[in-house]
Structure 1
Amino acid sequence: MNAINWFEIPALDLERAFQFYTSVLHGNVRKGTFGNGELILFNVPFNTGEAVGGSIVVREDLKPTTDGAVIYLNAFGKLSSAVEKVESAGGKVIIPEMNLGKFGFAAIIIDSEGNKIGLLSDEQ
């Protein structure tokens, strides 16, 4: 069991968000559909219950924000490699690196849509 079983990150422009997350997360996202809407999914085995799933969505009731909870995403490799790509992909680095000891390394960014997002990795 996980404390979180699904999350949604709001976007204003799904294609811009797709380009951002494709770059920063080393291609570990894919486009998909649910119902009548398009979304972006993370390439993790959430269907089997091995990972927590989530998506990036454009919805009338969701707006990007830098307030509130911070979701930490897997950087899918070295944290420094992901952080290096943030600004060229249209985001902003708020905290470039935090050493979390045995829990690895983290950074805080603003994504291309205006959301405060954490990146987490075992590799610096």
Structure 2
Amino acid sequence: MRLKSEIWVKAYLRRCAANGAGGVVARHGDDDAGAIFIKVVRADQMAAVFSPAPAGLDDADYERRWVSRFDAGFVSDSEAEALLKREASFDEDVWIVEIEEREGRNFLGDELME
């Protein structure tokens, strides 16, 4: 069984804070099952966006797994914001979590699919 979105977001923000990164909920989605998008902003204002992995990949149906939304990894902040704005226009239940981390670490560990 998958954790509720709200609980996962709170735990993720704590993980980031414990590693010295600041994070905020930029958009609060559905507490139970809202899709979560993570934006990581480096010191040079370049950003990466991670979204839920498609269902059916490995154990993504049961565990949260993430994929990078940009092949280049980091793009301009405005490009990342445009993507997130489009996603929010499609799904009113979406969460957007923004992390400021000098080096661009995402703290997703094994949850990130390559």
Name the TM-score, length of structure 1 as normaliser.
0.29
Structure with bigger RCO (C-alpha 8 Å, 6+ apart): 2
Query: More helix by proportion, 1 or 2?
Result: 2
Which has the higher Rg, Structure 1 or Structure 2? 1
Name the TM-score, length of structure 2 as normaliser.
0.30
Query: More strand by proportion, 1 or 2?
Result: 1
